[in-house]
Amino acid sequence: MITILIYQGFVKLQNRLNQVWLNPMLFSVITIIALLMWFQIDYHTYQTNSQIITWLLQPAVVALGYPLYQQLHSMRSQWKSITILLTISASLVVIISFLFTYIITKEYGISVSIALKSITTPIALAITEQLNGNQAVTAFAIILAGLFGALMGVPWLQLIGVKSHKAQGIAVGAASHVLGTATISQLSFQHAAYGSLALIISATITAIISPAIIHQLMVMLS
């Protein structure tokens, strides 16, 4: 209940002040961490007693499919090119993230976790466990990727000349999963629909290709 109240409080504060940097997720996380440290409550205890919020994550992801359904008529001629683009992008993200992290840290588990930062939490954690990665690092990397996309995704795209709502939705949905998509969904139905489409396709593709890619990279590095 305290978690929900804190989050809703920051939602109302952001709506009142109308500041994009005042992200409810970011400030809720900071506040909850401070409270846990102040009252000396370990994370396992907090996680156990807030499990219902984690369970609600999956139907929340499904709910993002509604604007996608509303825009299906305009996507039918584009789904092949979008799928090809996201397949290439997802592959490059996994390869580059894994290689750079492994070269810097020499830690396989951390490298796996960073490579999976751009897909939605339930899928990323499942793949992390399958590949013997570090789930704590995966969860933290996912939050960071989501927050950066939510806060700076659209402004950055506009700065470099990407004005299309469709392109912005695909970019943020692919890079910043549910958090980024939920944030840009407030801008337009096209942002929401194409962000949801990119989120779904990127997560599916990454789940399929990442084990093979990471295994091959480790063979090359060893």
pLDDT in tens, 98-136: 999 999 999 999 999 999 998 888 788 889 988 988 888
**Cα angle vertex 198, ends 197, 204, to 5°?**
95
- Confidence category of residue 20, pLDDT binned at 50, 70, 90: low
Tell whether the model's pLDDT for residue 88 goes beyond 90: yes
H-state helical runs in the chain: 2-17, 24-38, 43-49, 51-55, 57-63, 65-70, 72-75, 79-105, 108-115, 121-130, 135-159, 165-184, 189-221
* Of 91, 79, 118, nearest in space to 197 by CA: 79
**pLDDT reported for residue 87:** 93
Tell whether the model's pLDDT for residue 32 goes beyond 70: yes
Higher pLDDT, 128 or 25: 128
Q: Mean pLDDT lowest for which of 18-22, 78-82, 130-134?
A: 18-22
Distance CA 177, CA 157 (A): 16
Q: What is the pTM of this model?
A: 0.75
